[in-house]
Amino acid sequence: MFLNDLIVKRVVGVKNTWIVQQPLIYQKINLCIKVPKGFIFDFASVPKLFWNIFPPNGGRYDRAACLHDWLYATHIYTKSESDYIFYIAMLDDKTPKWKAKLFYWAVKLFGKSAWKNGGKLKKYAGKDEIKL
């Protein structure tokens, strides 16, 4: 579950880019992941064609999308583990199960390039993770 709200500020002059204003903390029984203040990300990478149905931000999956971008940028976990954490985090935030599964399968099937490149905003990522 997330221990706090996601507080962000839009990066002026850069399309669909946001900066975390306070650490975002996600915790489960055996892990605790901290997305640090200053991490720059782009919320959910939804093709523009689907924005009316699945907006890139403003949904129940916002915190999970930030967490997932962090996991892709840092490679703290494998791609498969990162995608699964994304799925569980969406469910924790009450994203409807069908939507969480759709997003999970989208990143599982089409996220290989983003994973390989560490996400398009990798240059802004630092490592800040604690395993309990």
**Res 2: pLDDT:** 94
**Res 11: pLDDT:** 86
Measure Cα distances from 65 to 106, 108, 132 in Å: 13, 14, 22
**Res 129: pLDDT:** 40
* Segment 52-72, tens digit of pLDDT: 777 667 778 899 999 999 999
**Res 27: pLDDT:** 95
Domain parsing of the chain, residue ranges: 8-130
**Res 7: pLDDT:** 94
**Res 131: pLDDT:** 40
Residues of the chain with pLDDT under 50: 123-132
**Res 111: pLDDT:** 84
